[in-house]
Protein backbone atom coordinates (compact mmCIF):
# COMPACT_ATOMS: atom_id res chain seq x y z
CA UNK A 1 0.00 0.00 0.00
CA UNK A 2 2.98 2.29 -0.61
CA UNK A 3 3.66 4.96 -3.23
CA UNK A 4 3.15 8.69 -3.19
CA UNK A 5 -0.59 8.55 -2.40
CA UNK A 6 -0.78 5.12 -0.72
CA UNK A 7 -4.17 3.42 -0.26
CA UNK A 8 -5.97 6.38 -1.84
CA UNK A 9 -4.71 5.08 -5.20
CA UNK A 10 -3.81 1.46 -4.63
CA UNK A 11 -7.08 0.29 -3.02
CA UNK A 12 -9.44 1.65 -5.73
CA UNK A 13 -7.09 0.22 -8.39
CA UNK A 14 -7.19 -3.17 -6.67
CA UNK A 15 -10.99 -3.09 -6.53
CA UNK A 16 -11.12 -2.38 -10.26
CA UNK A 17 -8.85 -5.36 -10.96
CA UNK A 18 -10.95 -7.63 -8.72
CA UNK A 19 -13.99 -6.73 -10.81
CA UNK A 20 -12.09 -7.52 -14.03
CA UNK A 21 -10.72 -10.86 -12.76
CA UNK A 22 -13.48 -12.84 -10.99
CA UNK A 23 -11.10 -15.62 -9.88
CA UNK A 24 -8.56 -13.24 -8.31
CA UNK A 25 -8.02 -12.96 -4.55
CA UNK A 26 -5.82 -10.31 -2.94
CA UNK A 27 -4.15 -9.46 0.34
CA UNK A 28 -3.96 -5.73 1.14
CA UNK A 29 -1.01 -5.04 3.43
CA UNK A 30 -0.52 -1.83 5.38
CA UNK A 31 -2.28 0.27 7.97
CA UNK A 32 -5.71 -1.32 8.46
CA UNK A 33 -7.49 1.95 9.26
CA UNK A 34 -6.15 3.69 6.15
CA UNK A 35 -7.01 0.76 3.88
CA UNK A 36 -10.57 0.41 5.21
CA UNK A 37 -11.32 4.05 4.37
CA UNK A 38 -11.04 3.25 0.66
CA UNK A 39 -12.97 -0.03 0.68
CA UNK A 40 -16.31 1.78 0.83
CA UNK A 41 -16.73 1.36 -2.93
CA UNK A 42 -16.26 -2.40 -2.88
CA UNK A 43 -19.86 -3.11 -3.87
CA UNK A 44 -20.25 -6.18 -6.04
CA UNK A 45 -17.06 -7.77 -4.69
CA UNK A 46 -17.35 -10.58 -2.17
CA UNK A 47 -15.48 -9.80 1.04
CA UNK A 48 -14.03 -13.31 0.86
CA UNK A 49 -11.90 -12.25 -2.13
CA UNK A 50 -9.76 -9.79 -0.19
CA UNK A 51 -8.31 -9.54 3.28
CA UNK A 52 -6.31 -6.92 5.13
CA UNK A 53 -3.04 -7.73 6.86
CA UNK A 54 -2.05 -4.97 9.23
CA UNK A 55 1.57 -3.82 9.12
CA UNK A 56 2.94 -1.50 11.80
CA UNK A 57 5.92 -0.18 9.82
CA UNK A 58 6.53 1.51 6.48
CA UNK A 59 9.54 2.08 4.24
CA UNK A 60 10.03 5.68 3.13
CA UNK A 61 11.18 6.56 -0.37
CA UNK A 62 14.37 8.06 1.08
CA UNK A 63 15.27 5.08 3.27
CA UNK A 64 18.43 3.16 2.45
CA UNK A 65 17.75 -0.44 1.36
CA UNK A 66 20.16 -1.82 3.97
CA UNK A 67 18.29 0.02 6.73
CA UNK A 68 14.90 -1.14 5.45
CA UNK A 69 16.03 -4.77 5.34
CA UNK A 70 17.36 -4.64 8.90
CA UNK A 71 14.70 -2.56 10.57
CA UNK A 72 11.41 -2.83 8.65
CA UNK A 73 10.41 -6.48 8.93
CA UNK A 74 6.79 -5.53 9.67
CA UNK A 75 6.45 -3.24 6.66
CA UNK A 76 3.91 -4.03 3.95
CA UNK A 77 6.78 -4.57 1.50
CA UNK A 78 8.56 -7.18 3.62
CA UNK A 79 5.36 -8.97 4.57
CA UNK A 80 4.06 -9.05 0.98
CA UNK A 81 7.27 -10.65 -0.21
CA UNK A 82 7.09 -13.11 2.68
CA UNK A 83 3.67 -14.23 1.46
CA UNK A 84 5.20 -14.98 -1.96
CA UNK A 85 8.20 -16.73 -0.41
CA UNK A 86 5.90 -18.87 1.77
CA UNK A 87 3.70 -19.81 -1.19
CA UNK A 88 0.68 -17.95 0.20
CA UNK A 89 0.63 -15.48 -2.71
CA UNK A 90 1.55 -15.81 -6.38
CA UNK A 91 2.86 -12.28 -6.85
CA UNK A 92 3.81 -9.07 -5.06
CA UNK A 93 3.08 -5.58 -6.41
CA UNK A 94 4.60 -2.54 -4.71
CA UNK A 95 4.74 1.18 -5.44
CA UNK A 96 7.32 1.76 -2.74
CA UNK A 97 11.08 2.29 -2.52
CA UNK A 98 12.68 0.49 -5.51
CA UNK A 99 16.02 -0.19 -3.84
CA UNK A 100 14.36 -1.62 -0.75
CA UNK A 101 12.05 -3.77 -2.87
CA UNK A 102 15.00 -5.22 -4.76
CA UNK A 103 17.01 -5.85 -1.58
CA UNK A 104 14.10 -7.48 0.24
CA UNK A 105 13.23 -9.57 -2.84
CA UNK A 106 16.78 -10.86 -3.10
CA UNK A 107 16.85 -11.75 0.59
CA UNK A 108 13.44 -13.44 0.75
CA UNK A 109 13.07 -14.98 -2.71
CA UNK A 110 16.61 -15.25 -4.03
CA UNK A 111 17.61 -15.52 -7.68
CA UNK A 112 16.96 -18.34 -10.10
CA UNK A 113 19.83 -20.83 -10.60
CA UNK A 114 22.46 -19.32 -12.88
CA UNK A 115 21.21 -15.73 -12.55
CA UNK A 116 23.73 -13.47 -10.85
CA UNK A 117 21.52 -10.37 -10.60
CA UNK A 118 17.82 -9.64 -11.27
CA UNK A 119 16.90 -6.89 -13.72
CA UNK A 120 14.07 -4.36 -13.76
CA UNK A 121 12.15 -4.55 -17.03
CA UNK A 122 9.25 -2.48 -18.33
CA UNK A 123 7.45 -1.52 -21.52
CA UNK A 124 8.01 1.80 -23.27
CA UNK A 125 5.89 3.06 -26.17
CA UNK A 126 7.21 2.59 -29.69
CA UNK A 127 5.93 2.62 -33.26
CA UNK A 128 5.45 -1.16 -33.06
CA UNK A 129 3.24 -0.77 -29.97
CA UNK A 130 5.81 -1.16 -27.22
CA UNK A 131 9.38 -2.20 -26.56
CA UNK A 132 10.74 -3.88 -23.44
CA UNK A 133 13.63 -1.98 -21.86
CA UNK A 134 15.94 -3.38 -19.18
CA UNK A 135 17.75 -2.91 -16.82
CA UNK A 136 16.22 0.23 -15.34
CA UNK A 137 18.43 0.84 -12.33
CA UNK A 138 18.99 -2.34 -10.37
CA UNK A 139 22.48 -2.87 -11.81
CA UNK A 140 24.44 0.30 -12.59
CA UNK A 141 27.45 -1.69 -13.82
CA UNK A 142 26.93 -4.96 -15.73
CA UNK A 143 29.16 -7.63 -17.22
CA UNK A 144 28.63 -9.03 -20.68
CA UNK A 145 27.27 -12.22 -19.14
CA UNK A 146 24.71 -10.28 -17.10
CA UNK A 147 23.54 -8.31 -20.14
CA UNK A 148 23.14 -11.60 -21.98
CA UNK A 149 21.08 -13.00 -19.10
CA UNK A 150 18.86 -9.90 -19.18
CA UNK A 151 18.23 -10.43 -22.89
CA UNK A 152 17.42 -14.10 -22.40
CA UNK A 153 14.98 -13.43 -19.53
CA UNK A 154 13.24 -10.57 -21.34
CA UNK A 155 12.94 -12.71 -24.47
CA UNK A 156 11.09 -15.35 -22.46
CA UNK A 157 8.94 -12.65 -20.82
CA UNK A 158 7.92 -11.22 -24.20
CA UNK A 159 7.00 -14.71 -25.41
CA UNK A 160 4.78 -15.21 -22.36
CA UNK A 161 3.23 -11.76 -22.00
CA UNK A 162 2.81 -10.82 -25.68
CA UNK A 163 2.52 -14.31 -27.21
CA UNK A 164 5.46 -13.26 -29.37
CA UNK A 165 7.05 -16.49 -30.58
CA UNK A 166 10.30 -14.84 -31.71
CA UNK A 167 10.91 -11.46 -30.06
CA UNK A 168 13.88 -9.51 -31.37
CA UNK A 169 16.62 -8.45 -28.93
CA UNK A 170 19.00 -5.52 -29.32
CA UNK A 171 21.72 -3.94 -27.19
CA UNK A 172 21.58 -0.20 -26.46
CA UNK A 173 24.79 1.33 -27.74
CA UNK A 174 26.36 4.54 -29.05
CA UNK A 175 26.38 3.21 -32.63
CA UNK A 176 25.26 0.26 -34.72
CA UNK A 177 28.75 -0.69 -35.94
CA UNK A 178 30.14 -3.94 -34.50
CA UNK A 179 33.29 -2.25 -33.17
CA UNK A 180 31.51 0.43 -31.11
CA UNK A 181 30.73 0.34 -27.41
CA UNK A 182 32.28 -0.75 -24.14
CA UNK A 183 33.82 -4.19 -23.85
CA UNK A 184 30.95 -5.60 -21.79
CA UNK A 185 28.51 -4.63 -24.57
CA UNK A 186 30.72 -6.31 -27.18
CA UNK A 187 30.94 -9.41 -24.97
CA UNK A 188 27.16 -9.50 -24.56
CA UNK A 189 26.72 -9.22 -28.33
CA UNK A 190 28.83 -12.33 -28.90
CA UNK A 191 26.87 -14.30 -26.30
CA UNK A 192 23.52 -13.24 -27.75
CA UNK A 193 24.67 -14.12 -31.28
CA UNK A 194 25.72 -17.58 -30.11
CA UNK A 195 22.32 -18.39 -28.55
CA UNK A 196 20.16 -19.91 -31.31
CA UNK A 197 16.97 -19.39 -29.27
CA UNK A 198 17.43 -15.62 -29.12
CA UNK A 199 16.62 -13.46 -32.13
CA UNK A 200 19.47 -10.99 -31.75
CA UNK A 201 19.31 -8.00 -34.15
CA UNK A 202 22.43 -6.06 -33.12
CA UNK A 203 23.09 -2.68 -31.55
CA UNK A 204 20.32 -0.10 -31.10
CA UNK A 205 20.97 3.63 -30.77
CA UNK A 206 18.88 5.79 -28.47
CA UNK A 207 16.77 7.34 -31.22
CA UNK A 208 15.85 3.88 -32.56
CA UNK A 209 14.59 2.70 -29.16
CA UNK A 210 11.14 4.11 -29.86
CA UNK A 211 11.15 3.36 -33.59
CA UNK A 212 10.69 -0.40 -33.29
CA UNK A 213 14.30 -1.40 -33.89
CA UNK A 214 13.78 -4.33 -31.50
CA UNK A 215 11.09 -5.85 -29.31
CA UNK A 216 13.57 -5.85 -26.42
CA UNK A 217 16.44 -3.44 -25.76
CA UNK A 218 19.04 -4.43 -23.18
CA UNK A 219 21.40 -2.10 -21.31
CA UNK A 220 22.97 -1.51 -17.91
CA UNK A 221 20.81 0.00 -15.17
CA UNK A 222 22.37 3.46 -15.36
CA UNK A 223 21.73 3.87 -19.09
CA UNK A 224 18.27 2.31 -18.86
CA UNK A 225 17.12 4.54 -16.03
CA UNK A 226 18.32 7.68 -17.81
CA UNK A 227 16.64 6.56 -21.06
CA UNK A 228 13.35 5.82 -19.29
CA UNK A 229 13.20 9.06 -17.30
CA UNK A 230 14.21 11.07 -20.38
CA UNK A 231 11.43 9.49 -22.46
CA UNK A 232 8.87 10.21 -19.72
CA UNK A 233 10.03 13.82 -19.59
CA UNK A 234 9.80 14.21 -23.37
CA UNK A 235 6.26 12.77 -23.33
CA UNK A 236 5.18 15.25 -20.64
CA UNK A 237 6.84 18.13 -22.51
CA UNK A 238 5.02 17.25 -25.74
CA UNK A 239 1.70 17.06 -23.89
CA UNK A 240 2.40 20.50 -22.38
CA UNK A 241 3.25 22.10 -25.73
CA UNK A 242 0.28 20.45 -27.43
CA UNK A 243 -2.17 21.77 -24.84
CA UNK A 244 -0.55 25.21 -25.03
CA UNK A 245 -0.69 25.32 -28.83
CA UNK A 246 -4.30 24.11 -29.04
CA UNK A 247 -5.51 26.83 -26.65
CA UNK A 248 -3.74 29.83 -28.24
CA UNK A 249 -6.54 30.92 -30.58
CA UNK A 250 -10.19 30.32 -31.36
CA UNK A 251 -9.27 28.48 -34.55
CA UNK A 252 -6.87 26.23 -32.63
CA UNK A 253 -9.58 25.48 -30.06
CA UNK A 254 -12.06 24.58 -32.81
CA UNK A 255 -9.44 22.30 -34.37
CA UNK A 256 -8.80 20.67 -31.00
CA UNK A 257 -12.53 20.08 -30.52
CA UNK A 258 -12.86 18.44 -33.92
CA UNK A 259 -9.78 16.28 -33.30
CA UNK A 260 -10.45 15.44 -29.65
CA UNK A 261 -10.96 11.71 -30.27
CA UNK A 262 -7.63 11.45 -32.07
CA UNK A 263 -5.91 13.61 -29.45
CA UNK A 264 -7.19 11.41 -26.62
CA UNK A 265 -5.88 8.35 -28.43
CA UNK A 266 -2.49 10.03 -28.84
CA UNK A 267 -2.44 10.98 -25.17
CA UNK A 268 -3.11 7.39 -24.14
CA UNK A 269 -0.37 6.15 -26.44
CA UNK A 270 2.34 8.29 -24.83
CA UNK A 271 0.92 8.32 -21.28
CA UNK A 272 3.54 6.68 -18.99
CA UNK A 273 0.78 5.25 -16.76
CA UNK A 274 -0.36 3.06 -19.66
CA UNK A 275 2.97 1.24 -19.45
CA UNK A 276 3.28 1.12 -15.67
CA UNK A 277 4.48 -2.06 -14.02
CA UNK A 278 8.16 -3.04 -14.09
CA UNK A 279 9.01 -6.72 -13.62
CA UNK A 280 11.91 -7.82 -11.43
CA UNK A 281 13.14 -10.61 -13.70
CA UNK A 282 15.41 -13.35 -12.35
CA UNK A 283 13.79 -13.86 -8.94
CA UNK A 284 12.18 -17.03 -7.60
CA UNK A 285 8.79 -15.39 -7.70
CA UNK A 286 6.77 -12.68 -9.44
CA UNK A 287 7.52 -9.17 -8.19
CA UNK A 288 6.26 -6.07 -10.00
CA UNK A 289 7.27 -2.49 -9.21
CA UNK A 290 4.74 0.25 -9.81
CA UNK A 291 5.82 3.86 -10.26
CA UNK A 292 5.47 5.65 -6.92
CA UNK A 293 3.41 8.42 -8.47
CA UNK A 294 1.17 6.14 -10.53
CA UNK A 295 -2.50 7.00 -10.94
CA UNK A 296 -5.29 4.51 -10.23
CA UNK A 297 -5.13 3.44 -13.86
CA UNK A 298 -1.35 3.14 -13.68
CA UNK A 299 -1.43 0.94 -10.58
CA UNK A 300 -4.12 -1.21 -12.22
CA UNK A 301 -1.71 -1.74 -15.11
CA UNK A 302 0.98 -2.93 -12.71
CA UNK A 303 -1.47 -5.37 -11.11
CA UNK A 304 -2.40 -6.68 -14.56
CA UNK A 305 1.29 -7.33 -15.34
CA UNK A 306 1.65 -9.33 -12.13
CA UNK A 307 -1.49 -11.36 -12.82
CA UNK A 308 -0.30 -12.23 -16.32
CA UNK A 309 3.14 -13.33 -15.14
CA UNK A 310 1.74 -15.32 -12.22
CA UNK A 311 -0.88 -17.10 -14.31
CA UNK A 312 1.78 -18.26 -16.75
CA UNK A 313 4.41 -18.85 -14.05
CA UNK A 314 7.08 -16.77 -15.76
CA UNK A 315 9.83 -17.54 -13.17
CA UNK A 316 9.40 -21.27 -13.84
CA UNK A 317 9.63 -20.76 -17.61
CA UNK A 318 12.85 -18.76 -17.19
CA UNK A 319 14.21 -21.45 -14.86
CA UNK A 320 13.47 -24.14 -17.45
CA UNK A 321 15.29 -22.10 -20.09
CA UNK A 322 18.28 -21.77 -17.76
CA UNK A 323 18.29 -25.53 -17.14
CA UNK A 324 18.37 -26.16 -20.88
CA UNK A 325 21.33 -23.80 -21.24
CA UNK A 326 23.18 -25.60 -18.44
CA UNK A 327 22.70 -28.93 -20.21
CA UNK A 328 23.94 -27.73 -23.60
> Domain check: are 29 and 165 in the same one?
no
Buried b / exposed e over 139-162, threshold 16 CB at 10 Å, is beebbbebbbbbbbbbbbbbbbbe
Same domain, 286 and 158: no
Residue 177 belongs to some domain of the structure: yes
- Classify residue 295: in a domain, yes or no: yes
Q: pLDDT tens-digit profile of 212-270?
A: 899 999 999 999 999 988 888 888 888 888 889 988 899 888 988 888 888 888 777 77
Provide the domain limits for residue 27: 7-116+275-317
End-of-domain residue from the set 273, 288, 308: 273
Query: Is residue 323 assigned to a domain?
Result: no
- The dihedrals phi and psi of 145, each to the nearest 5 degrees, come to -65, -40
Is position 2 within any domain?
no
Cα–Cα distance for residue pair 9/93, rounded to 1 Å: 13
Residue 28 has pLDDT above 90, yes or no: yes
Residue 219 lies in a domain: yes
Write down the pLDDT at residue 259.
86
pLDDT for 278 equals 93
Residues 103 and 217 in one domain: no
Question: For a pLDDT cut of 70, what percent of the chain falls above it?
Answer: 99
Residue 89 has pLDDT above 80, yes or no: yes
Are residues 144 and 42 both part of a single domain? no
Distance CA 156, CA 319 (A): 10
Q: What is the pLDDT at residue 44?
A: 84
pTM as predicted: 0.88
In this structure, are 57 and 77 located in the same domain? yes
219, 281, 312 from 117: Cα distances, Å:
14, 9, 22
Kindly report which listed range (45-49, 273-277, 291-295) carries the lowest average pLDDT score: 273-277
Residues 239 and 111 placed together within one structural domain of the fold: no
pLDDT at 232: 82
pLDDT in tens, 139-185: 999 999 999 999 999 999 998 888 899 999 999 999 999 889 999 99
pLDDT > 80? residue 326: no
With respect to residue 73, please indicate whether it lies within any of the assigned structural domains.
yes
CA 77 to chain centre: 16
Domain count, the chain: 2
3-state secondary structure of 164: coil
Scanning the chain, the segments in alpha helix (DSSP H) are 7-20, 32-37, 65-71, 76-85, 98-108, 144-162, 183-194, 221-245, 250-258, 260-270, 296-312, 314-327
Domain assignment present for 297: yes
> Is 103 within a domain?
yes
Task: Note whether 112 and 27 are same-domain residues.
Answer: yes
Q: How far apart are CA 128 and CA 198, in angstroms?
A: 19
What mean pLDDT is reported for the chain?
91
Pair 154, 97 in one domain? no
**pLDDT tens per residue across span 228-239:** 888 888 888 888
Query: Does residue 229 share a domain with residue 164?
Result: yes
* Pair 242, 262 in one domain: yes
What is the per-residue pLDDT across 298-312, written as a single tens digit (0 to 9) for each?
A: 999 999 999 999 999
Same domain for 154 and 258, yes or no, is: yes
What is the CATH classification number for the domain harbouring 23?
3.40.718.10
List, in order, residues 6 or more apart from 177 with CB less than 8 Å away. 203
Contacts of 35 (CB under 8 A, 6+ apart): 1, 7, 11, 28, 52
Predicted confidence band of residue 112 (pLDDT cuts 50, 70, 90): very high
Q: What is the pLDDT of residue 328?
A: 66
Read off the pLDDT of each residue in 69-79 and give the average, rounded to a whole number: 95
Q: Are residues 161 and 92 in the same domain?
A: no
Amino acid sequence: MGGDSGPRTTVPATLDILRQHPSLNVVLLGDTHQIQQYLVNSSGISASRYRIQHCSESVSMEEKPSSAVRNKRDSSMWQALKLVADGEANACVSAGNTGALMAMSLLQLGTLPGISRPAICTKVPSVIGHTYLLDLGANVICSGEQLYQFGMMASKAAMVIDDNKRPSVGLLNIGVEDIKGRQEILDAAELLKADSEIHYVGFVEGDALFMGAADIVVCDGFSGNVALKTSEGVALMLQHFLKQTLSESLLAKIGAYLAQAALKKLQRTVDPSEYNGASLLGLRGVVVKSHGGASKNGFSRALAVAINEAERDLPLLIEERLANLANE
